[in-house]
Copies of this chain bind each other. A is one copy, B any other.
Amino acid sequence: MSARAAIYRLMHPRVGARGSRLLAVLPELICTAGLLAMIVDTGTPAGSRADLVLSGIVMAVWGFFVAVYALRIWSAPEAPAQHATGAAGARRAYMLSARGWIDLMAALALPVGWLTGLPQRDAQLLAIVWSLKYIRRSGGLTLLWRVLKRAFPALVSVVTVFFVILLIAATLAYVFEREAPAGAFASIPHALWWAIVTLSTTGYGDMVPATTSGRLLAAWVMVSGIVIFALWAGIVANAFAEELRRRDFLKTWDLVAKVPFFQTLGAAAIADIVRLLHARDVAAGTVVIREGQAGDSMYFIVSGEARAMLAPEPVTLRPGAFFGEMALLFGTPRSTTIVITQPCVLLVLDVADFRVLAARRPELINVIEAEGRRRREANAALVHP
């Protein structure tokens, strides 16, 4: 393995490999250290010992991010998906990806501050863009984005209403309260501040209406705030439900198609089954099933490898195999411990869905049942030979 490939491997650890978890979260840990140092530093006297130490940490983390960016550009051609595009193409692809842009911003944050003539303590504040690195990791963000896009037209309407209520409330509050002795409502911009604090039900209490009409107005604003909030929650909840259903369906479909057990089925049957199965990624070393526990699901192996800890010698389960069906068929506790030996993608069939499947596709359950009975007899033969 070349140095470049070693660097690439170090920065893109395979899931399930030894030490891969630590390597995977290391950048986040370093990022957190840098952000913490920057945050705490704002509370120290300039030039104090603590200030120097903390600034040093921020600089070190910045150096790390510069190095990461440089190394990622250098090792980009090692990416498996880029073998065909050539070194320059692979590097451009990385630099134009979302990840590349965030890495660039992380590396440039402090230099931009220095170039614009900010003192060191102020330039450090720009390190806040490092927090975007957290977002990149979160797999669910795409989901959030699709949900907001789906709910967009309805959300725009609610925001419009929110905005109009804000303007009207601020104008009325100014009219009602401008003569009041406290005198906080001196202009509509002041009243707007009160209106947003009240409409969001935050209620700092720095501006409070004193007249009766001002208070009636405030009551209306608060109740409007709650209603708008409820509308928002309702819209988002609906969009979420539809988006999740869509995503689960697609993910499971792709996996079901890979399991030989289901490949004899027609498209209609698969569309039926896909709704009942759920995909799950499992790291190596996980104990999926523990002997003697109660069981409420069975599993199909899509990829990876598991081991059934049977008495004389363990049995290796490969893609296409299934396990855990006995607890569902006979209601008994788990008879064997199953350990994942290679990172696996499993399809999980819950006991509730197993029963629905038994009603709709008895032929499938018959195959599972035959296998389950065969295994039970084999187990019994082992115990009482």
Contacts and interface: CB of A to CB of B under 8 A. Distances in A.
Interface in A220-278: 222-223, 225-227, 229-241, 244, 246, 249-250, 253, 266-272
Nearest to A129: B168
Given A128-B171, A253-B352, 6 more contacts: A39-B192, A135-B160, A154-B240, A201-B202, A201-B203, A205-B206
Interface of A: 35, 38-40, 42-43, 125, 128, 131-132, 134-135, 137-141, 143-144, 147, 153-154, 156-158, 160-161, 163-164, 167-168, 170-171, 174-175, 186-190, 192-193, 196-198, 200-206, 208, 212, 215, 218-219, 222-223, 225-227, 229-241, 244, 246, 249-250, 253, 266-272, 296, 350-352, 355-356, 358-360, 362
23 contacts: A39-B187, A39-B192, A128-B167, A131-B163, A131-B164, A134-B160, A139-B153, A196-B218, A196-B222, A200-B223, A200-B226, A204-B208, A205-B205, A206-B208, A226-B229, A230-B237, A231-B240, A235-B237, A237-B237, A237-B238, A246-B350, A267-B359, A269-B359
Contacts of A235: 230, 237, 240
A205 B203 CA distance: 7
Contacts of A158: 140, 144
B189 A161 contact: no
Copies in the complex: 4
